[in-house]
Amino acid sequence: MTSLLHVDSSASLAGDSVTRRLTASFADAWCRRHGTSGYRYRDLTADPVPLVSHAYTTLGRRVERHGVVPLARVTAMTGGPAEEREWALTLPLIRELLAADTVLVGVPMYNFTVPAALKAWIDRVTFPGAYVDPVTEAGRLRDTTVVVVAARGGAYGPGTPREGLDFQTPYLRTYFRELGVAEENLHVVQAEMTRAGDVPALARFRELGDRSLADAYAAVRVLAGGGEGDRAFPQDLGSRL
């Protein structure tokens, strides 16, 4: 069965969040094509992933010393109630990620990088050896498609005053590649100048922001299988992240 894990990390509600509306557009097109039985949603703001603790890192180091350990064996390697609790919080998230054929991640830029809610999820699911097959040593995410939907209030491309200050999308590209996602299966959709509609200093860039957001809506619908000609999107241009 085809499956989609949809992850949102914006602190804003849907009415104020570009990334939430963009990922919802992707999910809607995907569910129309594949049905809803394989769809799984995780809101990292409404249901935060706890920060990793000393017990998590201790368990991770112990497991890593044994090479690639099957997930089913990790419980037996825990050293007490604190580590057991950490593993109980971690294993369902890892299994959820491994079960998805497509992973959709909505990521607003906060202070030049990703939200803390997403970083907490990343730190917890990135457990040593979890994404390597213990028998073949092949990457378990090599056939997984990852779609990162990013938004930022300004512009960070070549020639802009903030060129080189984007620690959002380069970080996520590096992270998912290191996790084992194949380059050809990693897609990043970006909407820039999303604050041009409500920040006076950015008002002159409103047209640029509108065009960027329209292109982002078109891109997510195509990636979701909605078709290249399906450019329908809500009239929310220039909204907040």
Asked whether 27 and 108 are in contact (CB, 8 A), the reply is no
Q: Are 181 and 223 in contact (CB under 8 A)?
A: no
Q: Would the annotation count 233 as a binding residue?
A: no
Q: What percent of the chain has pLDDT over 70?
A: 93
Give, in degrees to the nearest 5, the angle at Cα 83 between 118 and 43: 25
β-partners of residue 191 are: 151
Q: Which helix (H) or strand (E) holds 219?
A: helix 206-223
Contact in structure between 168 and 162 (CB atoms under 8 Å):
no
Does 164 reside within a domain? yes
Residue 162: C-alpha distances to residues 188, 189, 194, 201, 212 (Å): 19, 19, 15, 15, 17
Residue 236 is assigned to a structural domain of this protein: no
Q: How many domains does the chain have?
A: 1
Q: Considering the domain boundaries, does residue 150 fall inside one? A: yes
Does the annotation flag 109 for ligand binding? yes
The CATH number linked to 150 is: 3.40.50.360
Statement: residue 238 has pLDDT above 60: no
Q: How confident is the model at residue 14 (pLDDT cuts 50, 70, 90)?
A: confident
pLDDT at 228: 52
Segments forming the whole domain that contains residue 50: 4-223
pLDDT band at 227 (very low <50, low <70, confident <90, very high): low
Give 156-189 pLDDT, tens digit per residue: 988 898 999 999 999 999 999 999 999 999 999 9
Question: Is there a binding annotation on residue 12?
Answer: no
The answer on pLDDT for 51 being more than 90 is: yes
Q: Is 193 annotated as a binding residue?
A: no
- Residue 112 annotated as part of some ligand binding site: yes
